[in-house]
Chain A
């Protein structure tokens, strides 16, 4: 009954490859996010979707392409992986609208290592 689940948990790949990370939430939330946590443990917002619509798109290389097939799923596809893409990627969800307190519910993270 995991609330926010990401797969895979670990991903090791070569430079130049293309990879995807999947995220699903069963909380009934309508907003989902991708965050990147670097080696210094700082969390940075990458993208946010509300009801399948892109609402936040920070300065992220266009090699990163999020896709939200429905409001319970948000996937992240990365083309032409570079060494600097190595990080832990966290998916999160939250409720918006009336009663929203801004609490984010995070997945367990997907550790990407680019060799």
Chain B
């Protein structure tokens, strides 16, 4: 069964600290993996996309890694800011038409001053 599991479920860190969010998936075959950021009261917004052949990709202070062999991805946030407080959702895409997407439940990150 295709599944995406994220950990931790929630996380509290102090402003300026780094953190890493995890995403494990059992989706096979695999097309790509995307991390979304969802601010409170807003819709999710894509942060990064990673395909099978990519190991790491950065978007500002966000760095995503992918290990397609172990089916694991991580999202590392450097020098966190208050505005990083949000839910981070891992979404894995299976090949095929019309976006066969499998969503994780998300990690809720709270950055405190």
Contacts and interface: CB of A to CB of B under 8 A. Distances in A.
- Which DSSP category, helix, strand, loop or mixed, fits chain B's interface? strand
A104 B41 contact: no
Contacts of B98: 31, 48, 50, 55-56, 96
B31 interface: yes
Contacts, number: 59
Interface residues of B, number: 24
Nearest to B31: A102
A78 interface: no
Contacts of B108: 41
Contacts of B41: 108-109
Interface in B81-113: 87, 89, 91, 93, 97-99, 101, 103, 105-106, 108
18 contacts: A31-B99, A40-B105, A41-B105, A45-B101, A94-B99, A96-B98, A102-B32, A102-B34, A102-B49, A103-B34, A104-B36, A104-B46, A104-B99, A106-B43, A106-B45, A108-B42, A108-B43, A109-B43
Interface of A: 4, 31, 40-45, 48, 50, 55-56, 90, 92, 94, 96, 100-104, 106-109
